[in-house]
Amino acid sequence: MASNKKYWKSVEELKENSSIVDTLRQNEFVEEIPTDVFLGDKENLEASSTTRRDFLKYVGFTTAAASLAACEGPVVKSIPYVIKPDDIIPGVAEYYATTMADGFDLANVLVKVREGRPIKIEPNKEANGTTNARVQASVLSLYDSLRLKSPKANGTDISWADADLQIISKLNEVKESGLPIAVLTGTCASPSTKKLINNLGETFGTVNHVVYDAVSESAALDAFEAIYGSRALPDYHLEKAEVIVSIGADFLGDWQGGGFDSGYAKGRVPNQGKMSHHIQIESNMTLSGANADKRLMVKPSEQNLALIKLYQAVVKGISTREASPLNDAIQKAATKIKKAGSKAVVITGIQDKNAQLLALAINNAINSEVIDVVVTKNVRKGNDADVAQLITDMNAGKIGAVIINSSNPVYSLPNSTEFVEGLKKVKLSVAFTMQDNETANAVQYALATPHYLESWGDVVIKKGQYSLMQPTIKPLFNTRQFQDALLTWTGSTATYYDFLKETWNTEVLNGTSWNQALHDGVFTSEVVGEVSALEVDVDAAGSELAKIKGSNFELALYTKVGLGDGQMANNPWLQEFPDPITRTSWDNYLTISKADAETIGVVNYNVANGALNGSLVELTVNGVSETLPVFIQPGQAKGSLGLALGYGRTQGLKDEMKTGKNGYQFYKNFNNFQADVTLKVVEGEHEFACVQLQNTLMGRGDIIKEATLEEYNTIDSKEWNKVPMVSLDHNEVEATTVDLWESFDRSMGHHFNLSIDLNACTGCGACVIACHAENNVPVVGKDEIRRSRDMHWLRIDRYYSHEEDFAGDVETKENGTGVLGYKNTMSDLEDPSENPSVAFQPVMCQHCNHAPCETVCPVAATSHGRQGQNQMAYNRCVGTRYCANNCPYKVRRFNWFEYPENDNFDYNMNDDLGKMVLNPDVTVRSRGVMEKCSMCIQMTQATILKAKKEGRPVNTNEFETACSNACSTNAMVFGDINHKEDTVTSLTEDKRAYHLLEHIGTKPNVVYHVKVRNTQEA
C-alpha cells in the first residue's frame, strides 16, 4: 500500500543496473584511496631521494617539533571596554526588532546581537514576521569583505564632504538647465524616503521617481490598478482556501514577494478531515508545483490558454468541447472552484496585464474570501513602462541627472547596454550602493551605503503595517544612508534618524510611543474601508491574451529560493544552498524535459564518484545567445526550458561566487516567458555540484510515508501508517515493541523531540540557512560538494515518485506482480519527463535513543544525553568515521579540512570580517572530526539556564532549535515531551506520526508525519 511506493531521487536511479547507483548503495565513500598511483609506480618510488628511513626521521622530527611547539601556551589578552555601554553584558545576546527591505525581500525580523555583532536573523513572530533562506542569510552579507567601503568618484576614493559639494553643484547645474532628475530605486515602501525624494524635487526642480524591480511584477500591479484603482498587490489568505488554482505562479517561492507559505501550510495540514486542494499548472518544476495535489505541465504559452479556458468555464460557464488532458483538468478545476465558491482562489504568475486581469476577474466572480484587496501589499512597486521610458529619455538627452538607490540596473536590465549608453549622456550619475557592483562601476559617483543592519528606515510592507528598521551595529565602513545624503543635499542639517522620528511622530504613531514602536519593530494601525472593483473589459483582455503565439521551445525564467534576484550573490551560504528541486548548488542551468533532451541529444550523467555532469547548449532568445549547461528536470513541461535569474554577476564578488550565467539578458520586456527560442548543442560538458544522489538512505525502505486524504479519513491509521514488523521468537511483532537494549528512565527532566510534518514542509530551506548561522557550519565550495563532502547538518531530501496522482500509483503497483513484474511495470511507466509527485523531507541527526553511531565509536566521542540528544564531543573525536558508516540516516558530516584556517576555502570563515558572524557559543570544528546536528544543545541549555536563573519551570513551548524557529510553516516543532503542554507532545502521539526506518529499532527523537495528499478530483 501506501508505503510501498517507490521513491527515487535522480533519473540515474531509474536506469536498470546502473553501476553508479549500485556503487553508491554499496559503498558510501565511493572513491578509493589512490594508493596505486603512488605505490604502484615502482620507478618513481625508487628514483625518489627520500628513503623510508628518511621518511621516518622526518615524521619523528615533525612530531617532536609539533609537540614541543605545543608546550608553550600563548599569552592571551583580555581587553575590556573603557566605558561599557549599559545595555551590553558580555556573553549575553541582545535581540533587536528591525526590518529587512532590500527591494526583493521584505521581512520583520529579530536580530540576535552578541557583543555588538549581529550574528543571526530570526523571524519577528510578534509582528507576524517570517523568514526565508535569503533573509536568514542576509546577516552574512553585512560582513561581506567586498562591500563598497567608501564613496568613490569615477573609481577613486573621495570624501563625503567633497562628494556632496561636487554633486550639489552639478545638481544645481541640472536645475538651471531645466532637465529633470531621475531617481531610480528598487521597490521603495518607505514613506519617509518618499518624502525625502519629494523634497529633493522641491530643491532641484523636477524629480522623476522611477521604481524598478529587477524581477518585475509590473503586470500584476497594472491589472490591480486597472480594477481597484491603486497600484498595489492584493494579499492572499491561503489558510482560508479550500481550492487553490495557480497558473504559473510559484507562490511558495518568490511570486509577488513570497511569504504565502505559512498561510498555505495551515490549510494543508489535515485538520478535522479537511485540507485544501491545490492545482498547479506550470512549465518549470517549482516549489509550488512540488507541493501541489495535482500538477499539470504546460508550456508558458499554453498557460495563457489554460487561464482563458478557466475564466470561460468559471465566469462564463462555457466549456470546451475538444477533449485533451489539459481541457479535462481545467474542467475539473472549474468544477472544484465553483463548488468551493468563495473559498477558492485563482492566482497566476503570467507577466501579462491581461492574464492578471483574468485571474482577478475570476476571484471577483466567485467572490473569493482568500484574496484581500483592502489590506494590500507594497512588496513590489516596479513599473516597467517607466523604466523603459527612462532609458529612452536618457539616450535622448532628456534627463539631467540619474540617482540610483538599492538597485543594480547595469547587471539586471535586459537592455543594460542601452542603459549604460544613456548614463553617459546625463550630466550627473550617482549610485547609492552597498556593493562595488556593475552599476557602481558605470556611474560617476558610487556612494557607499550601509547594510540594513546598520541603517535606520521605515517600511510599509502591508497597508497599515508600519515597520521600523534600526541599526544593530555601528557602520563597519565609511558609509552613509541614501536618506542622509538627500537631507544633506536639500540643505537640511537634521540626521535621517531625526527626520524619521519626526515623520513617525507626526504622521504614523498617532500619539503612541516611538520607543514602543522601535521595540516592537512594527506599528499596526487598522485599515478600514471598502474597495470596489471598477468595470474593466475582461473579455477583451482574454482575447488579447489569446493572441500571444507560442513557439517550438519556450523559455520560462524564474528565481531560485537561494539566490533570488542576485543581490546577495556574494553570500557563500546562499551559493552553497542546494536548490530544493534540483538539489544543485553553485550554479544555474537550463532545465529541460527528458523527452526534449533525448530529441536534441543532450545528456546528464553521473561520473564515477557520483557527481553529475551535463552537456552544454547554446541558447538563443531574440538574438541573444549564451552557452548554458542543461539539467534534465523531471516534471519540466515538454517544449519548455527553465533558467534561473540572479546568477552570472561579474563585479563586486569573489571569484568563487561568479557562478552561472546571467539570465537577465533574456528577460526582454521584463517578461519571464520568452518565445522565439532556439537551442544548439555545443561541445563540452559542465560539472554540476549536485547532492541529489549523495547521502541517500541507501535504498532502505519506509522513508517517506504517504496517504490520500480519503484513506486518512476513512481507514485505520495502522493501514497507511504501518508499523514495520520484525520476527521475535518466530512471531511477527511490531518493530517498536522489540528492544535490543535496556532503556533509561526518561520520564524525568527534559526529553526533547523534534516533529516534522511532511504536509506542512514546503521545502523552502530557511531551516538550512538558520542551521548554518546558528551552528557555524562551514561552506566547502563547489569542488568539495561534488566529492559528497557537503557539511550541511540539515538537508532537505527531495523524493520523486512516479504517478501523476496517488491513486494511479497504487493501482500500477498492485497490478504489477512480484518483484520482476513490479520492476517491468515501473520501467514501462517510468518516464521521468512524465509528471512525478514530489515530497520534501528535512533530515538531520535523528538523535536515536538507541543510536548505532554511539556503540561503534572507539573513543566514546559520541554519546547519549539524558535529555534525548545524541552528543558529539569534537575534542574527543579521532576521526575514524565509523559512526558515519554506521548511521542509517547518513547525517554525520566529516570535517575534511580545517575550513576556517585553510586558504583554499576563501569563504566567510577565512576572512576577518566574515568570522564576525560566528556564533561564539558553538565550537568552530577543526579538521578530522565528525560533526552533526546537536539538536541545538546550546539553545536548549540556554533556555534551561534562563529558567533556572529566574527560578521557574521552563515555559510551555519555550524550547526552540534554530530550524524550528526559522520554519514559517510550523512544519518543524520542537519541544519537551515530558512537558505535556508542549505542542510537540501531542504531535508525537498523532496518528500520522512515524519514525524514519522504524524497523531497525533506533528509536529516534525526531518524529515525522505521514504526508497526506488531497487527490480527490471534482
Partner 1 sequence: MKSVKLHSQLSRLVVNSLVFLLLFSLNLSAQEGDAANGEKLFKSTCAACHKLDAKLVGPALKGVTERREQDWLISWIKDSPGMIKSGDKLAIQVFEENNKLPMTQNPQLSDQDIIDILEYTKGEPIASESESVAQEVDPGVERGKKIFKTNCAACHKLEGKLIGPPLLNIGDKYENEWLKLWIKDNVALIASGDKLAKTASEYSPIGMTPFPQLSDEDLDDLLKYLAVGDVKEVAASTATSAKDEEIFNKPGFGVLPTLALTILAFLILVIIVSLTINKKVVEGEESTGSMLKTLFFNPFLRFLAILFFLLLGAWLLFGWLMQIDLNEGYQPIQPIAFSHTVHAGDNKIDCQYCHSSAKNSKTSGIPSANVCMNCHKTITEYKGELFDGHTKEDLDNEIQKIYNAVGWDKDNLKYIEGAVEKPIEWVRIHNLADFAYYNHSQHVTVAGLECQKCHGPVETMHEVRQFSPLTMDWCITCHRETEVDLTENGYYKNIHDQLANKYGVEKVTEAQMGGLECGKCHY
Give yes or no for a contact between 489 and 167, defined as CB atoms under 8 angstroms apart. yes
Q: Which is nearer to partner 1, 958 or 1017 (CB)?
A: 958
Q: Closest CB to partner 1 among 200 and 929?
A: 929
* Choice from 160, 874, 896, 897 touching partner 1 (CB under 8 A): 874
Residues 6+ apart with CB under 8 A from 198: 207
Nearer to partner 1, 608 or 878 (CB): 878
Q: Are 281 and 303 in contact (CB under 8 A)?
A: yes
- Is residue 80 close enough to count as binding partner 1 by CB under 8 A? yes
Is 331 buried (19+), middle (13-18) or exposed (0-12) by CB count in 10 A? middle
Among 474, 730, 949, 980, binds partner 1 (CB under 8 A): 949
6 class by beta-carbon count within 10 Å (0-12 exposed, 13-18 middle, 19+ buried): middle
In the complex, least distance from residue 233 CB atom to partner 1, rounded to whole angstroms: 44
Q: Which of 33, 37, 748, 819 forms a contact with partner 1 (CB under 8 A)?
A: 748
Can you tell me which of 57, 519, 948, 991 binds partner 1, judged by CB under 8 A? Answer: 948
d(CA 184, CA 505): 28
Does 952 contact partner 1 by CB under 8 A? yes
| Binding region for partner 1 (CB under 8 A) out of 542-550, 788-796, 894-902, 948-956 | 948-956
Q: Say if strands 837-843 and 795-801 run parallel, antiparallel, or are unpaired.
A: antiparallel
Return the residue matching grid coordinates 540594513: 452
Piece of 119-127, 354-362, 868-876, 1004-1012 that binds partner 1 (CB under 8 A): 868-876
70 forms part of the interface with partner 1 (CB under 8 A) = yes
Nearest by Cα to 828 from 838, 839, 816, 840: 816
* Position 803, amino acid: E
CA distance 799 to 809: 15
Q: How many residues sit close enough to partner 1 to count as binding (CB under 8 A)? A: 51
Stretch that binds partner 1, among 64-72, 345-353, 568-576, 715-723 (CB under 8 A): 64-72
Closest Cα partner for 972 from 770, 749, 776?
770
* CA 588 vs CA 633, 728, 1006: distances in Å: 13, 52, 33
Q: Which is nearer to partner 1, 71 or 740 (CB)?
A: 71
Q: Does 491 bind partner 1 (CB under 8 A)?
A: no
Closer Cβ to partner 1, 171 or 962, answer by number: 962
Taking alpha carbons only, the member of 121, 125, 100 closest to residue 190 is 100
What type of residue sits at position 249? A
Closest distance between partner 1 and the C-beta of residue 878, in Å?
A: 14
Least distance in angstroms from the C-beta of 857 to partner 1 = 11
91 binds partner 1 (CB under 8 A): yes
What's the min distance (Å) between Cβ of 984 and partner 1?
17
The C-alpha atoms of residue 256 and residue 360 are separated, in whole angstroms, by: 14
540 contacts partner 1 (rule: CB under 8 A)? no
Q: Classify residue 622 as exposed, middle or buried by CB count within 10 Å of its CB (0-12, 13-18, 19+).
A: middle
User: Under the criterion CB under 8 A, does residue 856 sit at the interface with partner 1?
Assistant: no
CA–CA distance, 679 with 84 (Å, rounded to integer): 64
Is 543 among the residues that bind partner 1 (CB under 8 A)? no
- Cα distances from 21 to residues 795, 821, 876, in angstroms, run 20, 21, 34
Cβ atoms of residues 930 and 892 within 8 Å:
yes
Residues 408-467, interacting with partner 1 (CB under 8 A) = none
Q: To which residue does cell 519537551 refer? A: 976
The two most distant CA atoms of the chain are separated, in Å, by 98
Nearer to partner 1, 666 or 752 (CB): 752
Choices 627-635, 707-715, 791-799, 860-868 (CB under 8 A): range interacting with partner 1: 860-868
79 binds partner 1 (CB under 8 A): yes
* Consecutive H or E run containing 175: helix 160-177
Minimum gap (Å) between residue 794 Cβ and partner 1: 16
- From 69-77, 260-268, 387-395, 533-541, span contacting partner 1 (CB under 8 A): 69-77
Query: Taking contact as CB under 8 A, which single stretch among the options 63-71, 316-324, 563-571, 789-797 is the one that binds partner 1?
Result: 63-71
Q: Which of 368, 636, 938, 1002 binds partner 1 (CB under 8 A)?
A: 938
* Among positions 84, 125, 316, 339, the unique one binding partner 1 when judged by CB under 8 A: 84
Q: Rule CB under 8 A: choose which of 715, 829, 856, 873 binds partner 1.
A: 873
* Between 92 and 608, CB nearer to partner 1: 92
Q: Is 207 left (phi over 0), alpha (psi -120 to 50) or beta?
A: beta
| Closest separation in Å from C-beta 949 to partner 1 | 5
Provide CB contacts within 8 A for 598, sequence distance 6+. none
What's the CA gap between 971 and 295, in Å, rounded? 22
- Please tell me whether residue 871 binds partner 1 under the rule CB under 8 A: yes
Q: Does 694 sit near partner 1 (CB under 8 A)?
A: no
**Closest separation in Å from C-beta 862 to partner 1:** 8
- When binding is defined by CB under 8 A, the residue of 721, 867, 908, 1014 that contacts partner 1 is 867
Give the span between the Cα atoms of 931 and 871, in whole angstroms: 10
Residue 75 makes contact with partner 1 by CB under 8 A:
yes
Scanning 74-82, 238-246, 344-352, 370-378 for contacts with partner 1 by CB under 8 A, the matching segment is 74-82
Question: Smallest distance, Å, CB 752 to partner 1?
Answer: 12
Query: If binding is defined by CB under 8 A, does position 921 make contact with partner 1?
Result: yes
Cβ at position 86, least distance to partner 1 in Å: 10
- For residue 77, state whether it binds partner 1 (rule: CB under 8 A): yes
Is the separation of the CB atoms in 694 and 832 below 8 Å? no
Q: Are strands 993-994 and 1006-1009 parallel, antiparallel or unpaired?
A: antiparallel
Residue for grid cell 534562563: 946
C-beta separation of 250 from 267 below 8 A: no
How far is C-alpha 894 from the geometric centre of its chain's CA atoms?
A: 25
Per the listing, cell 534525548 goes with 868
Calculated CA dihedral for residues 936, 937, 938, 942, nearest 10 degrees: 110
Binding segment for partner 1 (CB under 8 A), chosen from 502-510, 629-637, 693-701, 918-926, is: 918-926
For position 481 contacting partner 1 by CB under 8 A, the verdict is no
Window of 161-169, 272-280, 465-473, 861-869 that interacts with partner 1 by CB under 8 A:
861-869
Q: Counting contacts by CB under 8 A, is residue 941 touching partner 1?
A: yes
Cβ 881 to partner 1 shortest distance, Å:
19
**Cα separations (Å) of 630 from 627, 798, 882?**
10, 20, 37
Instruction: Please choose, out of 141-149, 235-243, 543-551, 871-879, the segment that lies near partner 1 by the rule CB under 8 A.
Output: 871-879
User: Pick from 203, 216, 575, 869: which binds partner 1 (CB under 8 A)?
Assistant: 869
Task: Determine, following the binding rule CB under 8 A, whether residue 880 of this chain makes contact with partner 1.
Answer: no
Write b or e for each residue in 482-512: b if 16 or more Cβ atoms lie within 10 A of its Cβ, otherwise e. bbbbbbbbbebeeebeebbbebbeeebbeee
Q: What is the CA radius of gyration of the chain?
A: 29
Among 472, 695, 923, 968, binds partner 1 (CB under 8 A): 923
Evaluate whether 767 touches 963 at the Cβ level (below 8 Å): yes
Using CB under 8 A as the binding rule, whether residue 954 contacts partner 1 is answered as yes
875 binds partner 1 (CB under 8 A): yes
Residue with cell 474570501: 369
Which of 184, 845 has the CB closer to partner 1?
845
Instruction: Please identify, using beta-carbon distances, which residue of 73 and 491 lies nearer to partner 1.
Output: 73
Angle value at C-alpha 639, between 634 and 640, nearest 5 degrees: 65
d(CA 690, CA 709): 33
Residues found near partner 1 in the complex (CB under 8 A): 67, 70-71, 73, 75-84, 89-92, 747-749, 861, 863, 865-867, 869, 871-876, 921-924, 934, 937-938, 941, 944-945, 947-954
